[in-house]
Every structure is written in structure tokens, then in C-alpha cells.
Amino acid sequence: MEICRIVIGLFLFILPGYFLSLLLFKKINFIERTLFGFASGIFIFSILLIIFASFIKVTSTLFYALYLIYLVLTLFIFLLKVKEIDFHVPKELVIKAAILSAILVFAFYMTFFPHLKYDYYLPFHADEWVHWGLTRAFMENGRTSFVNPFNGNGRFFDVELGFHVFLSSLKWLSGADFRSIFVLMPSIIAMFVSMAAFCIGERSEMKFGLAAAFMTPFIPTTIRYLGPSFLVPVATGLLLVLFSIWLLEMEGKAKYILFSLILIFSIFMHLPTAAALAVVAISHAALDMLDKKFKEGAIIMAIVVLPFLIIYFISPDFMHYLQLGLDALFEKPENTLPIIHFSFDELTKIIWGLFFISVPLIILKGKRIERKILLSFVFFFTIFFLYQKYKFGIQILGDRFILFTYLAVTTLAGYGIFVVARYSKYVLKYVNIKYKHAERIFMAGIIAILLILTSIYVTPVHKNISFYRSIGERDYENFIWIRENIGKYRDENHSFDRAAIFPFKAGVFSAVTGIYTLASSGWPRYGGNLIDKVSTFMENG
């Protein structure tokens, strides 16, 4: 039942953006329109809700009203343009779509595998439980700031509000419960990451979309630097980065407005993602200027700066964002997390090898779209390396940019597969085969072999990554029972709005139940002077 709700919710989430794409982009296929529908839904719905939440309380009713207005407008546009739309789908695209469907199932499986491995169908990482609690708090309060949902002390400034608004809109639209969303959505987002890689690859002369789509699910997820298997902002950031690479290749002026909206949203969702998008835009602009497209390059450079200025004027709280960044950049860094030691083995040497094979051909013969990814890789890895090696920069940027590095590497590894296949075909010159399709079949065979070898070599490494479980199934069922039944026991003398619980479970308890807790030894950490006392009390009674 929950799966059906999420599927229906996704369909409704995608639909307005799909119709909007018919107005904005006439020369894209139905796969690209589906990608646009989902990605645009993330930032358009979220920006609208953030604007309204700055002035009034946002409720599900308001969201449904905004959604219906948006849907009716885009549907009206669709009906006006329906005669101009070419619904013909080339046979080659149908075949590729069928293969892509299988790859998307593989992407879902690879991202969902930790749940299968541990037979555990709850969020793994403490950060996910925090996002659970903050999303619930936004849905209940409907404003951009609210009382701290974990300890109940003071107003909480949510630095990743955009992510929680996105999850709220998805929950309102689907009607699914939090558990289903947090368990299934990482894999669904990973499917759209693969779809975005496919769309990028098909824009290339090499047409390496299927290989790129197959490679991106191998981006690892770890407890240290997160990844696609967790429902965290950076997982959505991976999608927005690839979507932006694709978007900036579109013709017309609409892409400038859309990219500005993505950048504005990402500032509220996840500052490292905003920085990654800036890297992509700067790379695109630099390549434009090298091609003497100075006007387009200058416009994109301006777009990188303008969203920050706009937010500064419309949101006074943005000063807090700015201060956080300045403090982290210019004050002595506090290394609260261990350094990430780079290793080729995490992504595996075969993927890195395919990536390095692609590099010289991209430099010599590549077009802007491949060179943009390669240049972005250079920026991503440099920022990661400078912090991990010399502590230069901001830790969260250094940490998260390893994932954006892996995103660029896996995408271009798909390009590398087609490079190997293309140049291997010259072997046929030394074999007397007269069949007219021999060259195409040979290339397809080489590609298939490389994909199979990659899967055999990389999948075990991917599956051996360890995770921890914050709570057990029984704990969760107890927390849900409390949330659903605590109201029966409340009266004028008993508010039951604060609880003492084992500190290592406190954050999860508050996220699920909505009841404040005294002290937490996990993440988020609070009530430090009470942690030992509460632990002793819970153990001894």
C-alpha cells in the first residue's frame, strides 16, 4: 500500500514539470521530460513553500491549492501546444528506454541493498533521523523557523530547510508515511541520478548515456561521508548537479532562470550542493569563454552571484548562513570528524581506469558537455584534497566534494567504456568478416563485457560497506505507539511534552514521537551535563 502511495505521489510530483517542459523545451525526449518533471518539482515546490512560510503558516491545504494552480496552468499550456508537439518516439530511443529501465531497477537495487543486507527497514544514519524530525517539525509548524524539535529549547534555525520542505511536499502529495519515504526515496532518487547521467550521455556525440547510467549506482555510501543510500541532502545534491549539467546545455533563455532557481533552492537545502552547482556553472562559463561565447559565459557567471544577493535582501536570516560560512573559513577549524583517507579502492580501480581512459580523448576531441564534467571533477577533487591534506577550506565542503568527485568519475567512466569499444572495433580490420552489422555487434559486445566485468568487480566492494542501526524494530514500534496514543493520556495536569530516555536513542525518539527529550549522546547532541544522570536513571530506575 505504501509503495503504491509513493508511486502515485511521484507521478503527481512529476506531472506539472513534465507539462512545463513542453513549453520551455521543444527538442527533448520523454525521458528528459520525466527527469525535468521530477527535478523541477524539487526546487519549484520548495521555493514556493519557503516563500509562503516566511509570511504565513504553510499547511497541507495551502500546498494542495498551490499544486492545483501549478498543475492547471501547466496543463492549460499543454493543451494549447498539443498540436505543435511531435509525439513520435524513434525506435532507437524505445530500445534505449527499455535498456535504461533495467538499469534503473539495478540502480534501485544497489542503493537499497543495505536494507536487504541487514534486513533492516528503517533509516541507518543519525542524520536521517534528524531530517525526519525536522521535516515533521516543518509540517506541524509551517514556518521557516520553529521550536527545536528535539529538546524544545529556543527557536531552531534550519540550515537545510529546503530539503525538509521538499520531503514535506512529497509526503503531502503521496500520503505515504515517514518510514516508507526514508527507506524508499534514496533508491528512487538514485534512479533519477542514473536517468540524469543517461540524458547527459545522450547529449554527447559519443552517445554513452546507457553506460553512464549504469556506472552512477556504484557511487559508494559510507557512514563517514554519506552517499546515495541515505536520505540526506547530498543525495539530492548529486541529482541536482547532473540535472544542472544537462540543463545548461539546453537552448534558449529559460535555462538561466531555472538554474537561478536551482541555485537559490540549493542554498536553503545544502550549502555544499550550492557550491557544487557554482563549480558546474563556472566550468560551463569558462568553456564558453574559451569558445568566444563571452555573453553566455558572463550571464552564467552573474547567475552564480545573483541568487546569493537576492536571498540576502529577501531573507534576513541569510546573514546567519553567511556567518556560518565565514566562521568556518577564517576561524581555526574544529576537526569533529576524522579525515577521509582517499583510496582508489572505494570506487574501485576498474572505474578509475575507465575514467582515466576517457580523459585524453575528452581533452583532445571532447565537446563542452564532457569537458564541463571533467573540469568540474578537477575543482571537486582539488577542494577535497586541499582540506583533507592541508586543512585548507571548510570541512563539510571537503567531505561532501568526494561524492561529487565520484559522481563526475562514474559518469565519465561510461564515456571511457565507449572509447574502449570504439577503438577496439579496429581489430575487425584484421578479421575477414563480411556481415554488414559486424562492427556494431562487436562494439555492443565489448560494451557488454566491460559492464559485466565492472559489475562483477565493483558490486562486492559496494556491498561490503558496513552500517550501524540507531534503533531496533521494536523500539520503532514503541515510539510510533507513543506518538499515536500519547494524546489519550494528556490533560491539564499532564502535558507529557518532555521525556527521559536512554540518551543514545533520544534524538530518534524525539524525531518519531514529537516529544522533547532531556539529553542526547548521539546526533544531535544536547543536554551534555545530564547525559550521565539520565543514563544512570534509565539503567537503575
Domain ranges for the chain, please list them: 2-463, 473-540
Which residues have a Cβ under 8 Å from the Cβ of 330 and sit 6 or more positions away? none
Half-sphere exposure of 75 (CA within 13 A, CB side): 9
Which residues have a Cβ under 8 Å from the Cβ of 220 and sit 6 or more positions away? 227, 346, 347, 406, 461, 462, 465
Alpha-carbon dihedral sign for residues 391, 397, 400, 406: negative
| pLDDT for residue 232 | 97
Residue 185 Cα distances to 3, 128, 145, 162, 163, angstroms = 10, 12, 25, 16, 13
| pLDDT for residue 324 | 55
Nearest Cα residue to 9 out of 172, 195, 194, 196 = 172
For residue 339, the 8-state DSSP code is P
Which residues have a Cβ under 8 Å from the Cβ of 150 and sit 6 or more positions away? 133, 506, 507, 510, 511, 516, 517, 520, 524, 526
**Cα(326)–Cα(309) distance, integer angstroms:** 16
**Cα(252)–Cα(525) distance, integer angstroms:** 48
96 with 209: CB under 8 angstroms?
yes
**Cα(425)–Cα(187) distance, integer angstroms:** 36
- Residues recorded for the chain: 541
Which residues have a Cβ under 8 Å from the Cβ of 16 and sit 6 or more positions away? 37, 41, 44, 67, 70, 71, 74, 75
Type of residue found at 4: C
For residue 31, the 8-state DSSP code is H
Pure H helices in 464-494: 473-485
Which residues have a Cβ under 8 Å from the Cβ of 169 and sit 6 or more positions away? 13, 41, 45, 46, 49, 63
Helix (H/G/I), strand (E/B), else coil: 497: coil
Angle between helices 60-81 and 30-53 (to 10 degrees): 140
**Other beta carbons less than 10 A from residue 24's beta carbon:** 18
Q: Are strands 516-517 and 498-499 parallel, antiparallel or unpaired?
A: parallel
Nearest Cα residue to 220 out of 75, 302, 111, 127 = 111
Half-sphere exposure of 216 (CA within 13 A, CB side): 35
Tens digit of pLDDT per residue, the chain (541 long)? 899 999 999 999 999 999 999 989 988 999 999 999 999 999 999 999 999 999 999 999 999 999 999 999 999 988 887 777 777 889 999 999 999 999 999 999 999 999 999 999 999 999 999 999 999 999 999 999 899 999 999 888 888 999 999 999 999 999 999 999 999 999 999 999 999 999 999 999 999 999 999 999 999 998 888 899 999 999 999 999 999 999 999 988 999 999 999 999 999 999 899 999 999 999 999 999 999 899 999 999 999 988 877 777 766 665 555 555 555 544 555 556 778 888 888 888 999 999 999 999 999 999 999 999 999 999 999 999 998 888 887 888 888 999 999 999 999 999 999 998 888 776 666 666 555 566 677 777 878 888 888 888 888 877 788 888 889 999 999 999 999 999 888 888 888 899 999 999 999 999 999 999 999 998 899 998 999 999 988 888 6
Strand partners for 516: 498
